Amino acid sequence: PGPVLAIEEINEKMSLVKHKILVISGKGGVGKSTFSALLAHNLADEGKQVALLDVDVCGPSIPKMMGLEGEQVHQSGSGWSPVYLEDNLAVMSVGFLLCSPDDAVIWRGPKKNGMIQQFLRDVDWGEVDYLIVDTPPGTSDEHLTVVQYLSASCIDGAVIITTPQEVSLQDVRKEINFCRKVKLQIIGVVENMSGFKCPNCKTESHIFPPTTGGAEQMCSDFGIPLLGKIPLDPAIGKSCDYGKSYLAEVQDSPGVLSYRNITQRI
């Protein structure tokens, strides 16, 4: 369908979704997909109906992080059925459409946009409390497409993930300006990989020392909320490889606790 018809169909689907949150970052590797995955787990644990949509078309990591590699999407009368991790946690990613997780998706902008349009229009999420959209790093076609297609049905806003390093913060300032230009509300910033407490000697080290005051200073300069800081924590790293069952074992680790506190602020 043409863009107008597509937007009408997307609006209809999105009328069943109460809250829509985009997770964005200036750089790759700062923990954006990890944040999206753990936010989805935490909201689902609180009893919310959660949909997690991975629009990182060329680098989908959500299937692996959710322990859903190898799952397939099915077509039903009412659209594409997402993959359910729990009754109240549904996931959709281009990774489910690939024959092998090592397959490369090499698509130009229009084809990526078409895929995202299909995700927003054709996935049958049903009634949902939270739709969390994991995006690629930076500000690219994918972000514009999501904002364009969802703006009529109101996006709650974006959560921006960064490390304390200036090299990451520099790109976050661009993200903030992007959000302001496209009138996307900023829910807040999360500083990830923010220090490391040695489990043996209990000393805290700053692996990525902030040279310009870190996310705290940047948030105060821009007048936006800092939602919290998450330390480097081997439990978080492993949870990406081992999925939900492992997370249950490390409920009290510093990283997992920080995630839970931040979820409560969203």
Binding residues vs ligand ADP (CB under 6 A): 25, 28-34, 61, 192-193, 230, 232-233, 236-237, 240, 255
* Residue 49 C-beta: closest distance to ligand ADP, Å: 24
Q: Would you say 14 or 39 has its CB closer to ligand ADP?
A: 39
2 is in an annotated binding site: no
Q: By C-beta, is 14 or 52 nearer to ligand ADP?
A: 52
Q: How far is the CB of 246 from ligand ADP (least distance, A)?
A: 12
Amino acid symbol at 222: F
Binding site annotation covers 201?
A: yes
User: In whole angstroms, how close is the CB of 137 to ligand ADP at the nearest point?
Assistant: 6
Q: Report whether 70 belongs to an annotated binding site.
A: no
**Is 30 labelled a binding residue?**
yes
Residue 32 known to bind ligand: yes
Q: How many Å apart are CA 165 and CA 197, to the nearest integer?
A: 18
User: Is 214 labelled a binding residue?
Assistant: no
Quote the least distance from Cβ 227 to ligand ADP, whole Å.
Answer: 14
Looking at beta carbons only, is 188 or 255 nearer to ligand ADP? Answer: 255
- Beta bridge partners of residue 158, listed in sequence order: 22, 186
For ligand ADP, give the closer residue by CB, 82 or 254: 254
Q: For ligand ADP, which is the closer residue by CB, 192 or 263?
A: 192
Which residue in the block uniquely carries the two structure tokens 């489990």? 199
For the CB of residue 218, give the shortest distance to ligand ADP in the complex, in Å: 17
The binding site for ATP comprises 26-33
The binding site for [4Fe-4S] cluster comprises 198, 201
